[in-house]
Amino acid sequence: MNKTILLATHNHNKVKEFQEILQPYGYDVLSLKDIGYNKEIKEEHTTYKDNAIAKVEALEHVYDGIIIGDDSGFEIAALNFQPGVYSARFMPEYSIKERNQAIVEKLKNEDDRSCAFVCSIACLKDDKLWVTINRSFGTVAKEVEGTNGFGYDPIFIPLGYDKPFSLLDRSIKNKISHRALAIEALVQYLENS
């Protein structure tokens, strides 16, 4: 069985997480850099699933093998589930650190701090398209702390923990995150298809 997968992302943090999670299952994850693909892949859709599919389809005629795409986001209940599918484009004038600080500030007097990370993975294998969407739930932290992970990790405290992903060992994120859950479903699909 072919155990090499191309991941259609330009986000090197995602590549690292996919490699760490899939390696124990015996999969090799190639990045777009590995195949010398440097064109931008546009995210023009309003759902995670459609964006994940678009990422895979952009590579369909470029790579002959298993291709996966990941579209993810951060949903905050008190902000009407923003930034959601627009997470990568939220407050573009701010650095990610400033963005996290701005979110903490917006929620300063908010009792409902519930939030979720979302990950949709699309997979193209033998001309068949498969998609999953998974969420991990938590609360928004009261301050921006820690350096592990990326993006909104410094303000996401997963349910059952008292620290954000940025302060937890990365092996914990790789077990319980939205991406870990979606990858678990992907492995089940690949092993049974």
| Residues at the contact surface with ligand ITT, assessed by CB under 6 A | 9-11, 14, 43, 70-74, 87-88, 117, 149-153, 177, 179
71 annotated active-site: yes
The β-bridge partners of 83 are 75
Q: Which is nearer to ligand ITT, 14 or 66 (CB)?
A: 14
> Nearest approach, Cβ of 111 to ligand ITT (angstroms)?
24
What is the DSSP code string of 123-165?
Answer: EEETTEEEEEEEEEEEEE-SS----SSSTTGGGEEETT-SS-G
Contacts of 70 (CB under 8 A, 6+ apart): 7, 9, 14, 18, 52, 55, 119, 120, 121, 179, 182
Q: Least distance to ligand ITT from the beta carbon of 178, Å? A: 7
The least distance separating ligand ITT from the CB of residue 192, rounded to whole angstroms, comes to: 26
| CA distances, 12 to each of 16, 34, 151, 157 (Å) | 6, 11, 12, 22
CB nearer ligand ITT, residue 22 or residue 70: 70
**Active site residue: 71, 112, 127, 162, which one?**
71
**Cβ closest to ligand ITT, residue 72 vs residue 139:** 72
Question: How far apart, in whole angstroms, are the C-alpha atoms of residue 84 and residue 58?
Answer: 22
- Residue nearest ligand ITT (C-beta atom): 151
Closest to ligand ITT by CB, 27 or 178: 178
CB of 161 to ligand ITT, least distance (A): 14
What angle in degrees, to the nearest 10, is found between the helix axes of 12-22 and 178-192? 50
DSSP one-letter code for 64: -
User: Which residues form the catalytic set?
Assistant: 71
